[in-house]
């Protein structure tokens, strides 16, 4: 008989994340690990001191700044999502969980989705695009119960 594995819930934003383990509805999740990402608290000007280059209009009467496709804040958030995805993949490979919930603000949730490998993505049973209190296990539980109710 296959052992019952816990569900993992990753609650993240661009500056920090908390990974919780839970064994079912109504049971307070147990904190597995915290991830601190201080770079995620910085603003664009604090991350990248180089200003974009300038270009001139065809008519030669004005100039404008070139904008990078992805700003420094987005790159920092995407890098953090990649780090979190690698940790989730490693935990999956070690059979630490059999289901995964993702709770993060919309943009960060998208970065996490993009960063997960296919086998880990298959274990995601629910997503919530919301920035919630990572330090309150019962708040996490409430949101996980909502995800289960939707499924």
**Per-residue pLDDT tens for 23-43?**
777 778 999 999 987 765 655
Instruction: Provide the residue range defining the domain that includes 35.
Output: 7-43+71-150
Phi, psi angle pair for 25, to nearest 5° = -60, 140
Residues 64, 53 contacting (CB under 8 angstroms): no
CA distance 64 to 53: 9
Q: How many domains does the chain have?
A: 1
**Per-residue pLDDT tens for 68-111?**
566 777 888 899 999 999 999 999 999 999 999 999 999 999 99
CATH number of domain containing 98: 3.30.420.60
CA 19: distance to chain centroid? 11
pTM here? 0.78
């Amino acid at each position: 008989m296959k052992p019952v594995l816990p569900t993992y819930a990753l609650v993240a934003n661009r500056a920090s994340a908390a990974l919780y383990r839970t064994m079912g509805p109504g049971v307070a999740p147990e904190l597995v690990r915290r991830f601190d990402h201080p770079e995620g608290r910085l603003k664009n000007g604090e991350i990248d001191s180089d200003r974009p280059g300038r270009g001139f209009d065809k008519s030669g009467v004005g100039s404008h700044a070139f904008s990078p496709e992805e700003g420094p804040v987005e790159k920092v958030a995407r890098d953090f999502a990649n780090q979190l995805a690698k940790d989730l993949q490693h935990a999956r490979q070690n059979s630490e969980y059999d289901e995964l919930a993702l709770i993060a603000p919309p943009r960060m949730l998208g970065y996490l989705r993009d960063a997960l490998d296919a086998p880990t993505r298959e274990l995601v049973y629910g997503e919530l695009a919301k920035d919630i209190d990572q330090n309150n296990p019962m708040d996490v539980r409430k949101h996980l119960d909502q995800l289960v109710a939707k499924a």
